[in-house]
Amino acid sequence: MRSGGRAAWGSVVAGVASVAALPVAIYLTRFSDSYDLLHAAFVIPVAAGLGVAAILLARTSRRRSSVSLAVDGGRVAVAGRVLGVVGLCMAASALVALGVYALLQYVGSRD
């Protein structure tokens, strides 16, 4: 397998990890007494970083496959890019939810 194919599959793996990071962290809060839902917010930068890595790996794969004559994982790279974007969107929505929660806590504590 050429390096473009490895980068494409790497983008899929990073994309799947990006999409799965937040739901897994939230799910694990159900089984711990010391780890609550708010602690799952520490996974937001991890999910965002994995999403960016997936997008960059997909871009690298597409660039390498466009230079070579062999077609190596074009569809796989697109899937990795889509998963990376979905992971970034999930991280952004979790960050917005965390911000709204903090705002509501602040407004509620002022009374």
**What is the pLDDT, as a whole number, of residue 103?**
93
Share above pLDDT 90 across residues of the chain, in percent, rounded to a whole number = 63
**What is the pLDDT, as a whole number, of residue 63?**
83
State pLDDT tens for residues 30-56: 998 888 888 889 999 999 999 999 999
Q: Model pTM?
A: 0.86
Range of the domain at 64: 3-109
How many domains does the chain fold into?
Answer: 1
Where does the pLDDT of residue 5 fall: very low under 50, low under 70, confident under 90, or very high at 90 and above? Answer: confident
Where does the pLDDT of residue 67 fall: very low under 50, low under 70, confident under 90, or very high at 90 and above? Answer: low
Q: What is the DSSP string of the chain?
A: --HHHHHHHHHHHHHHHHHHHHHHHHHHGGG-SS--GGGGGGGHHHHHHHHHHHHHHHHHHHHHHHHSSS---HHHHHHHHHHHHHHHHHHHHHHHHHHHHHHHHHHHH--
Instruction: Give the pLDDT mean for 77-92.
Output: 96
